[in-house]
Amino acid sequence: MKLYLIRHGQTDWNVAGKIQGSTDIPLNDTGRRQASCLAEGMRRRPVETVFCSHLTRAYETAKAIGDSQKVPVEMVRGLEEVGYGVWEGMTMEEIRDRYPKELEQWYTSPVDVAPPEGESQTEVYERCGRAVEEILGRSHGDVAIVSHGATVVFLLEYLLRDESRDEEDDIIVGNASISTIDYNPDTKTFTLLELNDRAHLKDL
């Protein structure tokens, strides 16, 4: 069984460098073109279901795949982006200017410290785990999971938690990228096959 972990297409806030988090920002024109190219790239990766977060940018991206493959799109709570609280809508420069102390605390201990009114890494990791376990429990074939930049990283870390990895290696996934994990239900093991594939966007 394969899990295709996908980040949504581009939004205007991506371009502006603004923190989106739980704020419901739709795809921009480029993001919609990316979603169309992504759907084409997924044709050689047929799935039984496309799961996504309830945020519009993820749903629009997921629907492009679902429509292309004529499979259902289902929203799953827990796949939404990290909640950044009062920092949402700001650039990192604005956050440094307005919340220097809170930002330093977050950088120092992001596992336990949350942005003001936001989520800690521990909280996000736990909800991502619950969401993907729900998906695995409901699925029998290959599936696509359309989520968000930081959330895809947490999903990867959860699924690959038993694999050794250099902690200094940051995982970064681009807009409309595909990361592929193979799941063996007999051994309950996960193997990373592909990370941040964006070859389908070559014409953009």
> Residues with catalytic annotation?
8, 81
CA atoms within 13 A on the CB side of 41: 24
Query: Which of 137, 50, 123 shows the shortest CA–CA distance to 81?
Result: 123
Residue 151 contacts residue 171 (beta carbons within 8 Å): no
Helix axis angle for 121-138 and 149-159, nearest 10°, is: 70
**Residue 199 carries which DSSP code?**
G
Task: Please give the structure tokens belonging to residue 75.
Answer: 């929203």
Handedness of CA 34, 35, 40, 41 (dihedral sign): positive
Rounded CA-CA distance 197/49 in Å is 20
Residues 6+ apart with CB under 8 A from 141: 1, 47, 48
Residues 6 or more apart whose Cβ sits within 8 Å of residue 133: none
